[in-house]
Amino acid sequence: MTAMASNALPRANTESGTSPVALSVEGMAVTYSGLLEVCSDVSIDVRRGEALALIGESGSGKSVTVLAVTGLLGRGGAIVRGSVKLDGEEISHLSERERRRRGLLGKRIGMIFQNPSRALDPVFTIGQQLNEALSLTGLKGKVELRAKGAEWLRHVGLPDPEEALDCYPHQLSGGQRQRAMIAIALASEPALLIADEPTTALDVTIQAQVLNLIRRLQKELNLALVLVTHDFGVVAAMADRVAVMYGGQVVETGSVDEIIRTPRHPYTQALLASIPTGEAGARIQALPGSVPHAGAMPRGCRFHPRCPAALPLCQDSAPALQPAADGRVMRCLRADDLERHDA
């Protein structure tokens, strides 16, 4: 895998090849109330300084995956199989208290949410919420907290950081709120940053600014970044590697270059084909149907009912996520066929 990948994206890969793995998820399954399996087999790796995009349709399990990693699944949600390791430390079965004690909430994993208007507490000032994160670093004292808080807000590009500290969320614009949210997520100096569709709720004009900011900070601070998105444009701009998810499973991983230029898995191909090209009159190839409900997953390959390349075999045997002959990692019974077809 490395041989081919390094040809495609030499810089990013030599970098990630040497730096240690920050987050490693293997075969993780998540259920709610022990019944509904919303994630069945998720395996991802992210190194320090590397950005991994997690892409898929709504209901593919990408948000649940990151919530499971951060321990924010909520009532009834639990990791039932597989492992989640942060810097080599197994964290999949920790209680909230234990997570807090080990600094997994905030201090080592920072999280940016989809909608900054709802993720910021409306009745607390930005400064107060920033202080909660700052205090995790051991910083004390009103003056020190204020100075550091203003520094962070300046760092994320808020025009008037001192004033913004005393603002309530509703007094800021949507883009400013997301910048403040990013500052709060990073203020506790985590090594892993998780961004769950950080620009979906923002105006198109603001989206690029916020994405650039996240990318810049990720590089500056040498963060491991997991970015959840359903937008290949975001993937191309932001990520080093991609994991494509379908029906609660990772179905293909690879470098951004590989996935976007030569998608191999039929689902990845269908996703890419459904992107509007921007050419007038060009038809978009829609992928018919939708992700099956977690309670009604088909037997065999989960994608086979919608798959253009499905064989009778796909209805019965479930493929595993494994390296194909050319080093691409994918979950498909026809992986080797498709590769030959590709070449």
Q: Is 38 in the site for another protein (CB under 8 A)?
A: no
The Cα 235–Cα 226 span in angstroms is 11
3-state secondary structure of 38: strand
Tell me whether residue 28 or residue 133 sits nearer to another protein (CB atom): 133
Tell me whether residue 74 or residue 288 sits nearer to another protein (CB atom): 74
Q: Is 301 in the site for another protein (CB under 8 A)?
A: no
Among 49, 106, 149, 266, binds another protein (CB under 8 A): 106
* Sequence-separated (6 or more) residues with CB below 8 Å from residue 4: 258, 326, 327
For the chain, the first-to-last Cα distance in angstroms comes to: 16
Tell me whether residue 121 or residue 337 sits nearer to another protein (CB atom): 121
Nearest to 81 by CA among 25, 24, 30: 30
Indicate the length of the chain as a whole number.
343
Tell me whether residue 121 or residue 203 sits nearer to another protein (CB atom): 121
Q: Is 189 in the site for another protein (CB under 8 A)?
A: no
DSSP single-letter state for residue 228: E
By rule CB under 8 A, what string of x and - marks binding of each residue 218-247 to another protein?
A: ------------------------------
- Could you identify the residue written with the tokens 């190194």? 47
- 85 exposure class (CB count in 10 Å sphere: 0-12, 13-18, 19+): middle
Q: Is 129 in the site for another protein (CB under 8 A)?
A: yes
Please give the radius of gyration of the chain, using alpha carbons only, rounded to the nearest integer.
21
3-state secondary structure of 105: coil
The Cα 158–Cα 136 span in angstroms is 23
Nearest to 224 by CA among 241, 236, 212, 208: 241
**Which range, of 30-38, 111-119, 149-157, 279-287, touches another protein by CB under 8 A?**
111-119
User: Do the Cβ atoms of 194 and 66 come closer than 8 Å?
Assistant: yes
Of 133-162, binders to another protein (CB under 8 A) are 133, 136
Q: Is 124 in the site for another protein (CB under 8 A)?
A: yes
Report in angstroms how near the CB of residue 120 gets to another protein at its nearest: 6
Among 10, 17, 76, 103, binds another protein (CB under 8 A): 103
The Cα 48–Cα 201 span in angstroms is 28
Tell me whether residue 111 or residue 329 sits nearer to another protein (CB atom): 111
Q: Is 90 in the site for another protein (CB under 8 A)?
A: no
Tell me whether residue 61 or residue 190 sits nearer to another protein (CB atom): 190
DSSP single-letter state for residue 284: P
User: Do the Cβ atoms of 56 and 230 come closer than 8 Å?
Assistant: yes
Among 93, 170, 216, 293, binds another protein (CB under 8 A): 170
Among 119, 156, 244, 256, binds another protein (CB under 8 A): 119
Q: Is 303 in the site for another protein (CB under 8 A)?
A: no
**Which range, of 49-57, 109-117, 143-151, 219-227, touches another protein by CB under 8 A?**
109-117
By rule CB under 8 A, what string of x and - marks binding of each residue 51-80 to another protein?
A: -------------------x-x-x------
The Cα 277–Cα 275 span in angstroms is 6
User: Do the Cβ atoms of 336 and 309 come closer than 8 Å?
Assistant: no
Report in angstroms how near the CB of residue 102 gets to another protein at its nearest: 11
Tell me whether residue 180 or residue 314 sits nearer to another protein (CB atom): 180
Contacts to another protein by CB under 8 A: 70, 72, 74, 96, 100, 103, 105-107, 109-111, 113, 115, 118-124, 129, 132-133, 136, 168, 170, 181, 184-185, 188
